Chain A
């Protein structure tokens, strides 16, 4: 029995000695009774010099204030006094003067009758762990910084209730909300009402089923202006793989949409142009015969007045068709521009006096000109561009029947284009009509042919430029033309 106990005791010492941890056993006064090899190694002293000494001088070297050492002492005193376990993280300087961060587990050892026999300290070197933690934290911060630096994409996260829990810098830029204004608000604030009700739940359902969902949709900024985005939504999982929310990444595709629309528009116009040319030709022949015969009859002498009147009506209407077909042909058979170096300001100025030839209510409209005086010359066909300006000015006037302001502004756009903005304060164009304004035969005017703007579109396009329109109902419309410099 006795030899067995001895054997066990030896084993215990060996275990303690070989344990890859700092192990100390203190008596109730705090003097070291047992220590293991690891302690010898770290402190650089032999057991004989350690055992029997008060623990404090060995286990902690301190900063100048002595605060850290006092805290450690307080923790151990606490374990002695209240017979309870404690944890403490302290720095130990080893024999080579390296700092080691040690996590100490301090346990009171009690006798069978619950008297304190001593204090067991087990310490683990957590220097590397802490360093790894610190570097992870740094990575984490770098990632956060990267995420918040992305301005091209709006990145935001919602929780399962649909409330926004993260809102990146790109999201702030794109959507106009500041982080602190929008955090914990419901995501529906970023969508049009109808969209938030029907589309959003569908998107989230898709994400739950498939894991990711990508869709072209519209978002609404703080000013309630909607714009097209490519939206990618992912599951947001916690480390255990539980769904905790959704990650949204939105890319503003306004410019791409505009380009796509322009290409679509050009192709459509080309197709319509071809059709129009064929049709115009087929109409012209019979129309020529109708008009010619009518005129011959009308020139006859002794024609009954009533009959003459009726034939004149027919002739007038036939003439109307002729003019329409003419205009259609002009649109379809748009001649390539004869490009010369011209001053865009002079082209505009030359058109303004012509406005008086068109029956326009000129009196109650102010013209505000802001023409940049250092614009390079552009490549242009003066006649064709004049036609564009006349068309746009007339449209502007007609939309301001109650009076208003016609503003004409020219400027240098990115050093490559002359930009001409022609704005009115008229009744504006309804959003559903806005996309059709360059479509042939689309007109909201009572007697409009719907060919004016398509002709403008063709002319500007053949100049290698672009024409766009912005409009708000009852506020006005602005046409933006860009023509390349020479």
Chain B
């Protein structure tokens, strides 16, 4: 799955880990440490997938999601959450057009398989 992925998280160790995990899966990875930064990058560059943390310094993950979708409606966005399963946040994210969510509380193997699954489903959806 040679996707081009933008990882958005305000914690460097988390960004780095996602980056390494994805690179292992042969993805091209770029990182942003805030929602604002991610918007700047997206305007300049094309990505297949954005991995976006719900909780960010500055504008929130949800706001960032909304703005990303405003700029590039077809860009696949997967939310990352440290809160575990939170129905209201997830419902809100879906309303704004995210393609799935990954909980940091999941085992790593599940995180990666979920990522692949969401990415694949979303891509098939946009191709149609």
Q: Is residue A256 contacting chain B, with contact meaning CB distance below 8 A?
A: no
Q: Does any Cβ of A come within 8 Å of B92's Cβ?
A: no
Contact of B17 among A280, A281, A289, A333 (CB under 8 A): A289
Judge if A330 is at the interface, Cβ distance under 8 Å.
yes
A330 touches B84 (CB 8 A): yes
On whether the beta carbons of B21 and A281 are closer than 8 Å, the reply is: no
Stretch at the interface among B31-39, B69-77, B102-110, B118-126: B102-110
Chain B residues lying within 8 Å of A291, measured Cβ to Cβ, are 107-108
Is B82's CB under 8 angstroms from A285's CB?
A: yes
With A285-B104, A319-B107 as known contacts, state yes or no: A292 contacts B84, CB within 8 Å. no
Q: Is the CB of B11 within 8 A of A292?
A: no
Output the least CB separation between A320 and chain B (Å): 12
The answer to whether A292 touches B82 (Cβ under 8 A) is: no
Q: Which of B85, B86, B105 contacts A284 (CB 8 A)?
A: B105
Is there a chain B Cβ closer than 8 Å to A326's Cβ?
Answer: yes
Q: How far is the CB of B20 from chain A (nearest CB, A)?
A: 6
Q: With A288-B17, A292-B21, A296-B24 in contact, is A333–B85 under 8 Å at CB? A: yes
- Using an 8 Å CB-CB cutoff, how does the interface string of A271-307 with B read, 1 for contact, 0 for none? 0000001001100111111011101100000000000
* A-facing residues in B1-57 (Cβ within 8 Å): 11, 13-14, 17, 20-21, 24, 55
A388-426 toward B: CB 8 Å interface, digit per residue (1/0)?
Answer: 000000000000000000000000000000000000000
Q: Judge whether B107 and A288 touch: CB under 8 Å.
A: no
**Docked complex Cα distance between A280 and B85 (Å):** 12
A293 engages B17 (CB within 8 Å) = yes
A277 and B84 CA atoms in complex are apart in Å by 9
Contacting residues, chain A, for B20 (C-beta < 8 A): 292, 296
- Chain B residues with CB below 8 A from A296, complex form: 17, 20-21, 24
Main SS at interface, chain A: helix
Chain B residues, Cβ within 8 Å of A322: 105, 107
Which residues from B are CB-within-8-Å of A329?
83-85, 105
Question: A292 to B108, Cβ gap below 8 A?
Answer: yes
A202-243 residues at the B interface, CB under 8 angstroms: none
Quote the shortest CB–CB distance from A45 to chain B (angstroms): 105
CB contacts under 8 Å to A, within B61-95, are: 82-87
Task: Tell me the complex Cα distance, A293–B85, Å.
Answer: 23
CB <8 Å contact, B84 and A280: yes
Q: Does A164 sit at the interface, judged by CB under 8 A?
A: no
How many residues of chain A are within 8 Å of chain B by beta carbon? Answer: 22
Contact indicator A335/B17 (Cβ below 8 Å): no
- Nearest CB in chain A: distance from B96 CB, A: 21
Size of the B side of the interface (Cβ < 8 Å), in residues, is 19
Would you call A333 and B86 a contact (CB within 8 A)?
A: yes
Please determine whether A281 and B13 come into contact, CB atoms closer than 8 angstroms.
no
Docked pose: A280 CA to B17 CA in angstroms = 20
- Bound together, the chains give a CA A293 to CA B14 distance in angstroms of 10
Q: How far is the CA of A291 from the CA of B107 in the complex (A)?
A: 8
- Closest CB in chain A relative to B19 CB, distance in Å: 11
Q: What residues on A are CB-neighbors of B55 within 8 Å?
A: 281
On whether the beta carbons of B104 and A288 are closer than 8 Å, the reply is yes
CA distance A277 to B20 in the complex (A): 28
B21 CB → nearest A CB, Å: 6
A155 contacts B by Cβ under 8 Å? no
Of residues 294 through 351 on chain A, the ones whose CB sits less than 8 Å from some CB of chain B are 295-296, 319, 322, 325-326, 329-330, 333, 335
Provide the bound-state CA to CA distance between A285 and B53, in Å. Answer: 11
Provide the residues of chain B in CB contact with A286, threshold 8 Å.
Answer: 13
Select A277's contact among B11, B24, B83, beta carbons within 8 Å.
Answer: B83
C-alpha gap A84/B109 in the complex (Å): 118
A319 to B107, CA, bound (A): 8
Cβ of B21: which chain A residues have Cβ within 8 Å of it? Answer: 292, 296
Min distance, Cβ B42 to any Cβ of chain A, angstroms: 24
List residues of chain A with CB within 8 A of the CB of B11.
Answer: 285
Given A284-B104, A322-B105, A325-B105, the answer on whether A289 and B14 have CB atoms closer than 8 Å is: yes
In the docked arrangement, what's the CA distance between A12 and B87, Å? 109
B15 to chain A, nearest CB (A): 10
- Distance of A286 Cα from B108 Cα, bound (Å): 13
Residues of A contacting B17 in the complex (Cβ-Cβ under 8 angstroms): 288-289, 292-293, 296
Closest beta carbon of chain B to A289's beta carbon, Å: 4
Are A335 and B105 interface neighbours, CB within 8 A?
no
> What chain A residues lie within 8 Å of B13 (beta carbons)?
286, 289
B111: shortest Cβ distance to chain A, in Å? 8
Chain A, residue nearest B13 (CB):
A289
Min CB–CB distance A298 → chain B (angstroms): 10
Interface string of A248-280 (1 = CB under 8 A from B): 000000000000000000000000000001001
10 smallest beta-carbon distances between A and B, as pairs = A288-B104, A329-B84, A284-B82, A292-B17, A289-B13, A281-B82, A284-B104, A295-B108, A292-B108, A289-B17
23 A-B pairs with C-beta separation under 8 A: A277-B83, A280-B83, A280-B105, A281-B82, A284-B84, A284-B105, A285-B104, A288-B82, A288-B105, A289-B13, A289-B17, A291-B108, A292-B17, A295-B108, A295-B109, A322-B107, A325-B84, A325-B105, A326-B105, A330-B84, A333-B83, A335-B85, A335-B87
Given contacts A291-B108, A329-B85, 7 further A-B contacts (CB under 8 A): A281-B55, A281-B82, A284-B82, A284-B84, A285-B82, A289-B17, A296-B20
Q: List the interface of chain B (C-beta within 8 A of A).
A: 11, 13-14, 17, 20-21, 24, 55, 82-87, 104-105, 107-109
Residues of A participating in the B interface, judged by any CB pair closer than 8 Å = 277, 280-281, 284-289, 291-293, 295-296, 319, 322, 325-326, 329-330, 333, 335
